[in-house]
């Protein structure tokens, strides 16, 4: 079985009110199960209230650490803009994660 981490993020009050971080995570947990990924509970990361324009986010930093340590084979995200709002950062992160 492939080991994965889940990463969800919301930044605005409106997103938090609508519960989108929970719905993102729920959809990703279902996807992981359907696709044969094992996701330990402690590897479900949520950055609530953090802007996607910055790479300094606790959950994202932990995901990057897990990848660098070789502990995961995949990172599941709801959409690329949850990883970063800046396209250049998305590419940087995808390349970094792919190396590991």
Using DSSP's 3-state secondary structure scheme, residue 48 falls into strand
CA distance 2 to 38: 6
30's tokens:
């279902």
Q: Which of 11, 51, 54, 84 is catalytic?
A: 11
CA distance 72 to 54: 23
Q: How does DSSP classify residue 41?
A: G
Instruction: Respond yes or no: is residue 12 known to be catalytic.
Output: no
Contact partners, residue 74, CB within 8 Å, separation at least 6: 2, 3, 4, 5, 37
List the catalytic residues: 11
């Amino acid at each position: 079985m492939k080991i994965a981490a889940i990463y969800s993020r919301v930044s605005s009050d409106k997103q938090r009110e609508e519960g989108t971080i929970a719905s993102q995570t729920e959809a990703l947990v279902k996807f992981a199960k359907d696709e044969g990924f094992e996701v330990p509970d402690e590897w479900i990361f949520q950055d609530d209230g953090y802007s996607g324009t910055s790479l300094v986010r606790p959950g994202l930093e932990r995901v990057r650490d897990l990848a660098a340590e070789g502990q995961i084979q995949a990172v599941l995200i709801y959409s690329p803009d949850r990883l970063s709002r800046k396209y250049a950062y998305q590419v940087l992160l995808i390349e970094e994660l792919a190396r590991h």
